[in-house]
């Protein structure tokens, strides 16, 4: 129990100045707990709830009034206060703090016995030996919670101050001699002995572990972020490569532009052929005016020529690539690749792509 909460129930309360002075020796976690407890207590006293008002009006039979100290606890508490005051004035010897907690994994109760060092005199005040650090240049003084363990040890060891306390203590009329050391029925438990320095080191280690967890979590988050970024970049590269591949692949173009072919000469006159224009392979620039029926009769000049197959007119080149005749006499639809051996069209053959970038002068 802290010094502040003790002042509300103890027969010998601490002064406000003593409470304020004791705050310097508290750990940050203890200060936050104290701040929370003080705020809660102030709220209760300032605005009592309806439930508390109703409950206070109906006291249970045999229960102690709120805020009253049971008779059997008055003397032990007075002894703790006496011990704290004497220790702060005259110093103290090494003592042991025993605290029990439950193991979260096994559920087993573990008791820690922390060896607290004796006091030394520093700047006119008694502080724990070894407590003067950069963080606490004034050292740490004994607090009420620690005085409880010191008072218990002094009583059990027959310290001279207990006899002085007995001689000066004046009990109330209703004070009984019942024992109230807070001990419950003894059960099997694990006892771990530690020094105050070891306990402090544990706190620092726990703090460092927590910081390490934060760093690890941050690193994992950064790694995940980097991985997602890399995956996104890889997707962009793959998409770009696919687009480039598509752009480089042959594109379907308009059907080959066919020059106007001269009409066949009258029957009496000898047929004339249009003048062949040199072109790139698979680029049709002109259509011959002379119809043929055999592959050998179609010149290998890179042009298509009128050609009749089974009574139907086509336009075909030397390679056997064949189209129907369009309405304007030019190249129409793709008929397929003609095979002279089987005398059939291979309609599954792809229609050739022609280069129309070059125009005849």
Q: Which of 171-185, 249-263, 295-309, 316-330 has the highest mean pLDDT?
A: 316-330
Same domain, 172 and 287: no
Per residue in 42-51, pLDDT tens?
Answer: 888 876 555 5
Phi, psi of 252 (to 5 degrees): -65, 130
Residue 270 falls inside a structural domain: no
Residue 104 falls inside a structural domain: no
Residue 291 falls inside a structural domain: yes
Residue 105 falls inside a structural domain: no
Yes or no: say if 259 and 287 are a contact pair by the CB < 8 Å rule. Answer: yes
Same domain, 40 and 153: yes
d(CA 112, CA 194) in angstroms, rounded, equals 7
Count of domains for the chain: 2
Yes or no: say if 262 and 272 are a contact pair by the CB < 8 Å rule. Answer: yes
Neighbours of 82 (CB within 10 A): 21
Percent of the chain with pLDDT over 70: 69
Same domain, 177 and 282: no
pLDDT of residue 19: 80
Per residue in 234-246, pLDDT tens?
Answer: 998 998 888 887 7
Choose among 124, 142, 157, 14: nearest CA to 78. Answer: 14
Same domain, 36 and 159: yes
Same domain, 142 and 35: yes
Find how far residue 355's CA is from the centre of its chain.
58
pLDDT of residue 180: 43
Torsion of CA 155, 161, 164, 168, to 10 degrees: -80
Q: Which of 171-175, 194-198, 306-310 has the highest mean pLDDT?
A: 306-310
Residue 299 pLDDT more than 90? no
Of residues 10 and 112, more confidently modeled: 112
pLDDT of residue 234: 92
Residue 361 pLDDT more than 60? no
Last residue of a domain, one of 181, 197, 229: 181
Of residues 33 and 6, more confidently modeled: 33
Section 330-347 average pLDDT: 90
Q: The domain containing residue 76 runs over which residues?
A: 3-45+68-98+122-181
Same domain, 176 and 315: no
Which DSSP category does 47 fall into?
S
pLDDT of residue 178: 44
pLDDT of residue 357: 53
297 pLDDT tier (thresholds 50, 70, 90):
confident
Residue 260 pLDDT more than 60? no
Same domain, 41 and 152: yes
pLDDT of residue 85: 94
pLDDT of residue 50: 53
Yes or no: say if 66 and 52 are a contact pair by the CB < 8 Å rule. Answer: no
Per residue in 96-132, pLDDT tens?
Answer: 998 888 888 888 888 888 999 999 999 999 999 999 9
Yes or no: say if 356 and 257 are a contact pair by the CB < 8 Å rule. Answer: yes
Section 304-330 average pLDDT: 91
Which regions of the chain does DSSP assign to beta strands (E)?
A: 95-102, 109-116, 119-122, 125-128, 190-195, 305-309, 312-316, 321-325, 331-339, 344-346
Per residue in 69-105, pLDDT tens?
Answer: 788 889 999 999 999 999 999 999 999 998 888 888 8
Last residue of a domain, one of 159, 181, 203: 181
Last residue of a domain, one of 131, 163, 181: 181
pLDDT of residue 191: 67
Residue 81 falls inside a structural domain: yes
Per residue in 322-336, pLDDT tens?
Answer: 999 988 888 899 999
Same domain, 19 and 129: yes
Per residue in 133-188, pLDDT tens?
Answer: 999 999 999 999 999 999 999 999 999 999 999 999 988 765 444 444 444 444 45
Of residues 49 and 286, more confidently modeled: 49
Choose among 276, 285, 281: nearest CA to 257. Answer: 285
pLDDT of residue 121: 94
Same domain, 174 and 280: no
Q: Looking at 23-32, 140-149, 249-258, 290-299, which range is the least confident one?
A: 249-258
Percent of the chain with pLDDT over 90: 32
Q: Looking at 33-37, 272-276, 298-302, which range is the least confident one?
A: 272-276
Residue 231 falls inside a structural domain: no
Residue 52 falls inside a structural domain: no
Residue 175 falls inside a structural domain: yes
């Amino acid at each position: 129990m802290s010094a502040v909460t003790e002042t509300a129930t103890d027969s010998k309360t601490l002064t406000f100045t003593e409470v304020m002075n004791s705050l310097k020796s508290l750990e940050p976690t203890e200060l936050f707990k104290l701040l929370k407890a003080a705020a809660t207590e102030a709220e209760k006293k300032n605005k009592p709830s309806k439930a508390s008002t109703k409950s206070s009006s109906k006291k249970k039979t045999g229960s102690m009034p709120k805020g009253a100290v049971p008779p059997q606890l008055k003397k032990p508490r007075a002894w703790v206060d006496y011990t704290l005051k004497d220790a702060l004035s005259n110093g103290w010897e090494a003592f042991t703090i025993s605290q029990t907690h439950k193991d979260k994994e096994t559920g087993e109760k573990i008791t820690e016995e922390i060896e607290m060092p004796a006091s030394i005199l520093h700047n006119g005040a008694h502080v724990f030996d070894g407590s003067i650090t950069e963080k606490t240049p004034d050292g740490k003084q004994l607090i009420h919670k620690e005085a409880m363990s010191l008072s218990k040890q002094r009583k059990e060891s027959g310290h001279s101050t207990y006899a002085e306390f007995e001689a000066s203590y004046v009990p109330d009329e209703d004070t009984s001699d019942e024992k109230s050391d807070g001990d419950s029925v003894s059960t099997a438990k694990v006892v771990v002995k530690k020094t105050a320095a070891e306990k402090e080191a544990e706190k620092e280690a726990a703090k460092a572990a927590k910081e390490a967890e934060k760093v690890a979590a941050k690193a994992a988050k950064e790694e995940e972020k980097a991985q997602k970024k890399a995956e996104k970049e890889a997707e962009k590269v793959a998409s770009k490569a696919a687009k480039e591949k598509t752009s480089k692949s042959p594109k379907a173009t308009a059907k080959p532009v066919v020059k106007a072919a001269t009409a066949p000469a009258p029957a009496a006159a000898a047929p004339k052929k249009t003048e062949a224009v040199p072109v790139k392979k698979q680029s049709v620039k002109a259509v011959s005016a002379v119809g043929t029926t055999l592959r050998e009769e179609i010149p290998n000049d890179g042009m298509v020529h009128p050609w009749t197959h089974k009574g139907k007119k086509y336009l075909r080149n030397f390679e056997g690539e064949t189209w129907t005749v369009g309405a304007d006499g030019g190249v129409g639809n793709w008929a397929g690749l003609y095979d002279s051996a089987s005398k059939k069209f291979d309609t599954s053959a792809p229609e050739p792509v022609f280069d129309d970038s070059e125009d005849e002068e």
